[in-house]
Amino acid sequence: LYSKGVTTRERADLIEKMYGSHYSPAQVSNISKQMIPKVEADHKRKLSDKFFCVYLAATYIPLRRETFEREAVYIAIGIKPNGHKEVIDYCIAPSENIEVWTELLQNMKSRGLKQVELFLSDGVVGMKTALMQTYPKAHFQRCLVHVMRNICAKVRVEDREAIMNEFKQVHQQSNKQEGITVLHSFYSKWQKAYQHVIQNVKDIEADLLVFYNYPKQI
C-alpha cells in the first residue's frame, strides 16, 4: 500500500475493514517508519565477493514526496555462481542517468563485490564505459528485449511482426557463429528499407552475442 502511494489514513481505514483492528494514521506512519533502519542497513550490508552475472535496470514507479510523481528506481539483481539470485542494491533518482549508475556500481564494489563475470543492461548512454572503469574484467551483454523494442519503434507497422520474428532467431541458435550468420542475413534483408535502424544494430553488434560465449544452460 505504501509503494502504491496510499495515504496513512486510507491504509488505516483499509486495515480496519479487512481485519477489524483499528490503527490511527499516526500508528500506521510509525509502523512504516520502523522499516527505515532496515532499509538503511540493507544498503550498507557486506556483499558477496563474486556474482556470475548482474542485471542492471531502471524502472519508473509513482513515489510520494512533497508531491506524487514517477521517479526512476535503479535496481541491480545478481546471480551467484551457485545459482542463487538476490537484489544487490537499489537507489532512487528523479530520472535515469549514468552518473547515478556509476555511483551505484562504485558503492557495490566498496561493499565487497570484487568480481562479476557478466553484466546485462539496456542501452543507457555511458553504461559500458562505467562498467569498464569499475569492473574492467567483466563482460557486457546488451538486453535483446530492449534492442527489439528500439527496432520495433522505428519500423513501419506492417513490417514489425516479420522483423521481430527474424531478429529473435539471432538468439535462438546453437552457437555464436550461427548467431552471427543469422544476424548478418538480417542486415542484408532489411538494410535497404531501414538503413539507419540496421546501422544502429551494427554499431552494438559486439555486445549482442556475448551470451554465446557461455554454456547453453547459462
Give the pLDDT band (50/70/90) at residue 187: very high
DSSP-based three-state secondary structure for 183? helix
Rounded distance between C-alpha atoms, residue 55 and residue 170, angstroms: 21
Our CA angle for 114, 119, 122, nearest 5°, is 145
> What's the confidence (pLDDT) of residue 120?
97
Chain segment 28-40, per-residue pLDDT in tens: 788 888 888 999 9
Chain segment 111-169, per-residue pLDDT in tens: 999 999 999 999 899 999 999 999 999 999 999 999 999 999 999 999 999 999 999 99
Identify whether the C-beta of residue 74 lies closer than 8 Å to the C-beta of residue 94: no
For 44-142, CATH gives 3.30.420
Rounded distance between C-alpha atoms, residue 39 and residue 29, angstroms: 16
| Residue carrying the nine cell digits 506524487 | 68
Average pLDDT over residues 58-79: 88
Burial of residue 88 (number of CB atoms within 10 Å: 0-12, 13-18, 19+): buried
Rounded distance between C-alpha atoms, residue 50 and residue 81, angstroms: 7
Closest by Cα among 135, 128, 205, 134 to 170: 205
Torsion of CA 110, 111, 116, 121, to 10 degrees: -90
Closest by Cα among 42, 109, 54, 44 to 81: 54
> What's the confidence (pLDDT) of residue 6?
83
Question: For the chain, what is the mean pLDDT?
Answer: 92
Predicted confidence (pLDDT) at residue 210 exceeds the cutoff of 80? yes
What type of residue is 27?
Q
Runs of H (alpha helix) within 50-194: 98-110, 127-134, 144-153, 157-168, 176-190
Torsions phi, psi of 150, nearest 5?
-65, -40
> What's the confidence (pLDDT) of residue 2?
72
Rounded distance between C-alpha atoms, residue 151 and residue 145, angstroms: 10
Identify whether the C-beta of residue 209 lies closer than 8 Å to the C-beta of residue 180: yes
Closest by Cα among 154, 114, 148, 120 to 134: 114
Set of cell numbers at residue 143: 538486453
